[in-house]
Each structure stands twice: as structure tokens, then as C-alpha cells.
Amino acid sequence: MHLAAGTPMGTVDLAHALKIRSASATVLVDRLEAAGHVRRGPHPHDGRRVTLVVSEAARSEVRAALAPLVGAITRLTDGLAPEQAEVVARFLGDTTEILRAYAAEPPDAG
């Protein structure tokens, strides 16, 4: 998800987003690159930096894997009356914001 968001991200940025050590992120990226899921490329605005680029093959694999889920959700939402769809959309939007805030700053354990 982090790499597919569209914001240029390097290995260190990925480590921070995943809350893992840079060395672990490097191993992860090496494996993703060897599998053909990502490639290292130049940063679009800073020639000194390297960014991670998700391969089209990886994007296609994810789309294919999620197609049955997306289809099932589409069939479910197609059966909603417009006023029901509005309530569900608002609920899911609000829930998404809560989850984003939690992911950005999870509460201290304990």
C-alpha cells in the first residue's frame, strides 16, 4: 500500500512507514526487486535520491487477486437504495479516517 500510493518513496521512507529498521527494509526491497515486484529508480525531483517503483506486473497481480472481492462488493452495493448507499458511504469514510489517524499515531501500549 505504501509504495502504491503514488508518493515517491525510498527504502528509508518505507522503513519509517513500516516502523522497521532500514536494514530490514533493504532486505525486503531486495526480495521484492528479485521477485519483479519493484525496481529502484531515480527520484522525479531529486537526482540524488533513489525511489521504489511498483512494477506493472505486480499491479496486475494485485488487481487479479482482488477482482473477486471487488466484484462481490460491487454486487452488494448495487443492491442498496440511494439513501442506504449514502449512509454506508458516510460510515465507511468516517471509519477510514479513524483508521488512518490510528495508523499515523497508534496509542501507547499499556
Q: Averaged in consecutive runs of 10 residues, what is the pLDDT profile of the chain (110 residues)?
A: 76 89 94 94 83 91 95 94 95 95 74
Where does residue 74 rank: exposed (0-12), middle (13-18), buried (19+ CB within 10 A)? exposed
CA dihedral angle for residue 1, residue 22, residue 34, residue 57, rounded to 10 degrees: 20
Identify the pLDDT of residue 17.
86
The H-or-E segment that residue 39 falls in is strand 38-42
Identify the pLDDT of residue 64.
96
* 50: β partners: 42
* pTM reported for the whole predicted model: 0.65
Identify the pLDDT of residue 104.
79
